[in-house]
Structure 1
């Protein structure tokens, strides 16, 4: 008999099965159930019956709308009985069928990876289905093969693919994948886990009486011990933990949070609206409500465990006593209570802990078994029996299988400790433990030690509970004169908080941090903040007193410069000062500024308090003095990082730093971390690999909600922008979001903005890493510019590879966007050099650009003419020692991407430009601008400067002279320039030639005058023709008499030593041999002479004379010579 497919759409919402898949299943059912001879009306009725209630409602609505449209158009449905079934299918096709988007389908195909727990067979089938929608045509096999290679998570399979190289076909790849998968499954089945028998007796308290239960875990040898069947005694079926399970092995895939399961029973085979769900009419034993099992109950579980608890932000009681188990362990097995359970498709070992209310997995196991899994942000606080918080980085939910029982279990990922299977999973998976009897005793817990477990024993006194005090240092606050004191009123606290605030005030007073006062000119209000652990932090609003404080000028270190000092570091320790500011004494004269008012009266600080404007700089200066001379240490306020390239170097550096801290009288808290290979410091994760974003910050970005206004968008971009140096394509991603924040733009969350928002999350979730700067490695700076931005990449050459140190980009201002292509590329070079000035100054480096003309224009020895801006930028680049190289645009991918949509830099400084002495007074600047605007040829050239030139063959003849010098052209202040010369419009060319020839110089001299400041195509030819037609020049017989250069008066300079004249006199007949020649120099303004006698008149002698003179008197603005060979 044929089995009908499940109803397509039973309840409102999205169908659980896509329409095309369901339609295919239904058509197969009709063929089997009704046969080919069935009437179309019968097929239609079967279709309507299988649609489900909501599906039938939609069909009825669509049919009515079609009938109304047909009647309104004056037509009737001419369908016969034979086509009513196909007509119904067509109507539903038009409604439910999703239109195919080839670009989007190919994007999904290229990003398809093997899912956690997904078999290779399923992955291959999914790729083939997705490829069928991409219209690959003849490339179908190769595209599926390539994506199979890049998407699989098994490295040994990928290795076999590589061995075949280009001869690998799709069928071969599928065969190899299936063989490897089958081999791995057979090996897992063969390697059964052997669990040693151990015996544990747990002593628990029930109703005030002590009871004893026994625990055992037995070897599995094919014989299962007898089950206890008394349901009255145990309340559920009993399972032995010795079930055959495969040993733990690193999986080939990861798991995802189980969000696609039924919330009633936890099954992944159907959803909650499935009518045959077994939990639909069952009553939960945890909350008493109907409709779900206990394992997926969303109600809060009663925290009745002894050892490990979970508490939310609300107050939760933690027991003060704990039952300690004395376990007789087998020498062959490290843990007597270990079992293997299947999490998703991965077998993982866990410790069974009936005292833990939740299940935990260590970060090490999480990264090993489930690499790449995205965690959800956790809002709960984990505590152990001694009320010490257990740090957790997030949680995930997965389907867990043990024996024949499956249940969803939530695992919290902790940074320390072992992986535990808690009471929630033990109950839901029906795990019971049997065995012989051992004894244990009940003891009371003591206070949790504040000393880190791996702290050096010699310095454990630094972790005492008493507050430290820096020896020989008191902070004296400097005040601004004339600032009137301000006395604030009391901010009344809620009644429930007053007792806690009073207790905290009493504690601070006993520890010497604050003291009572009766009156003060300065009074600030109290601000109460609740910590994560529920305790209170008392803060003071010192905004008014801070206005009267002179802040110390000692600078805080730059975070980037600090992190780049960690070259080669492999071992790290982080020291955290306990109440850092409170360890510094405040002078008596400064204490009144910190007076604050509470419901218990006035208090003031005896120690430096948080919020005092002068505190950060003073504290940083003090720490720099304390740690001065210590190697391998970084200090940013109260965060101290000690590092070393080897463990021995690290330990020596740590000992030196701890000795300094001990001698100073300061104390540390229990947040210190010692001798690790990866550590969190200043918002970064630091390891031997390099720097990466902090996981908690990345999670905050990944889990951030969609911004609803400009303020929330600015907050999101501020957090994401802190890590922009890690993201080579950051500018590409953020541009749509930054465009929404520009002045005059309305806030409109578009599809493009949403894509950009999600792309930022995906890029940061990939955990990018950049290397740490190494002073010994060669530096390579690669730059590029686009029409709207600049981009640069900082790399170092290590062997044959280039390792990335940082990325940088910024947008161009409106004025900069009008620069020519060459000028934008030159500006990118300048931007990169000044951006990383700290690392580049004094070192030789390679500067790469994809604009070949810059290899000449930016070279120090270039003798060619440069555009005005590039000339000015070259002067600023003289500070750097670099070799410029040309890099093809196809090889300059990263810098090019950074420049396309770059990082917005608000208030970027505009370069002030001033053009002086453009032309003779006879033609003004306004005349030139007006003529340029009216010149048709120049107006065609100007857009090409900003947007790029087309191919030469497509240009009209009048533009070819400009194309030949396109790299020298620029458009500044509505004038066209070739290098530093103005390009003259055609309407002014004749007038300029007349002005240049006004004193009737010859052809060469006239050309020289014009070429100094002006340029236009055909200048030489126009000058020659004008002079040959000059009546005055023709009247003069230039061949009959010598031509002397016309005498020209020298204008008198306005300042001394502004313009000098130099000449050589000699040889002198009666002078000594060493004084045969005299180099004479005179100041045109003051007529001050300088004379130097020499026996030679070479350039070296002139240079020696001028060097001594200029070092004494300074440099002039101009020197006039007779153009002798010594002066060239």
Structure 2
């Protein structure tokens, strides 16, 4: 059967059920015209019919779903439709891929022991002697834990649900049935009768091509009440396990399947297959309660074994001698075998000294940071464009509370943001490397705590994935990976979801079983439970084991992950040894500190919780060229522009003659206080007996104010002065703060503009109609017809006295075309105007349009660029036409190019007619009544007093001018002043102003002429500039 007919047949079945059904809302889904066209669905508003291939369905009234019996059948109908579509998707993606039967064989323990080449032969033999006693444990056969049955608790408002089985491609039915029978034979599944709870199941290939059984428990997970069981913390393990000699990490095979469910929970875990219903007897994978259950059972089982640490299915055994380790292995393996667990010795690590554990690299002397957490950051290349630079600065700003002096370090980079082309200087390179080093150091040394929430910010671009993992607002790990050629063809939603999946795979030992996992994405569809492909379904089911909570975040707010998905990465080159030594890293200590010691030297000056081994840290940094290249650029603490200490203040006070004289004349208000050993500092009290504050000497005043301003993130005058006044006093403190902030170049260019400077000029209202007309272009409007987008624009012409409007659709924006329509639509119908007001668009200042004005003796009156307030009458008319066009295009969507043109012409005609007929509060009548002397609807004569109208409008304009100027600072610009030009509609991370530029002329109508560059002068309204202070 052709695919179109299959889809049509599916729609017919669904449609027949919809005609018998109901919903609590008017619309279950709204399809756009692009989807309808692609699916060949043609709605006909005239006949109230919907045509899809050979099918025809009638439109239903708005309250159809409310009144019909729709609810009880809708899910069944949609599942039937989804099943057919899912079959096509499954077959196309998986049908050609062979899936092998699963294989769990017994492992030769002697061979496994001999593979431990890190051990001497004698110890390998000892290990083999231990392992051979536990053939049942290593048999590969599934056992059943005898001491506890798992109970899954549902929420109070949980309701039964039923999902249809997923279709199985014909090529996979044999393997599917074999795996189903195998799971029944080993006791994981058993055949079930009808059930109130049904979840679907399918199979996918593992990396080795063998079958993986996957059950879709998303619906059940949404109803389960999770009972959290805390996971171990790496800090606590370090304190208990310092200076061990041998470490074994056991991996429990099929751990969840070892735990039996109670009867009530077996009912909940019933699955639907093409071969009937089956229910789980054992704890399934994909249930969000599973990690907590596993952790609790394993800890209870091994509670009396002090040498053991447990993390879900990983068991760590620590010993201080070989004999002790062999004895512990024998004891632990016996406990596991007696409890019917299964272990694969080839997946275990036997008697090692170093390995990864809970997100860190474990060593006998403590832990080493996990280098892969910062690999993405180490490989980050410098920005190559201003947009990439904004992305990097946005990511750094996201961590603004993480390290001090952010503004100092960013200063060379923020200075580049306002430029059109990136001018990468040595200072920019130094700043970029220093910030990378600080971010890497913070994540490199930070512990993940599984008992606190993790927050993952993910993003994807057309070429790579990126994410950042945070805890308590601090980065724990970074991730980035380039997409392969096949993945680059994924949809946007699939790329965004892949970024989440790859992050969880990369940091599984860090994130699995954590208390809460919050995932933030700027792709809103991922927060909904909609599945388009089998690939997306598999990924969503993989995520279920982690129990993530999805949050939508706007793209502009996702700056943390944006940089790692868009900035370039490369294979880093090893750097040569640095002759200048390390900056920001102390020399290697002679003695190894205990792992639990908290470092407070230079290495932790940037708010890093550093319970780590200094010896291991230094060996990693000095032995790894990537780390060395990164951390050598850590900013040294002595490079702070102003380093405050009491000794420096006291010495500067002693050199300040004015302060010393004032202290002698006011001994009760200015006294020396002992603020540090052997250091007395002059302090000032505003009133006798009041609180004391350090009296800043004049020589330190400006440096102190500047240091605080930069360190506090370029705060404003009030906040800067108030912060300083908490601890310092100087009679010129407020004035110095004002000067510092007003002259700060980044503040002037990058901060949002508050009240404007300079009052706008008054405007005189014309008395006679037809003398002044305003012209402007509206559009383009985009109308989608099938896969094509049609754009339309129009010319707007308005008389400034009567507000009479003419609008005509135009085919292009050339000056000649616009001039022709201006002459045909206005000059041939109405009295010749004296002046034409227009903006500085090329269609109006072009020679063809200007030539047409000169022919008719009309003066050109251009307004300043990007100043829509100057032509507000046209702007309001544009809004009215846009509103009308949206309504018409929604009610009667066009079918082709001709109907789209007719739609635009109709919208224009309706808007023009409405504008002529609607009462105008300023005119106290209608524009058509003034222009034609008659009412537009009733044909009643109207008489207008033009002088009274002029007076009323002039009063109104003057009142609005006064109101506008009260929101602006009174400021007189002069020739030679420097001004900043405000950016028109800047982006979130773009500068708010560019410049400075010199004023070369001041005009009387509220405009200035500024020198943009040699030979380039722009006339600009005072609304779009502000004074620059240097």
TM-score by length of structure 2 reads 0.32
Structure of greater relative contact order (alpha carbons < 8 Å, 6+ residues apart) = 2
Structure with max Cα Rg? 1
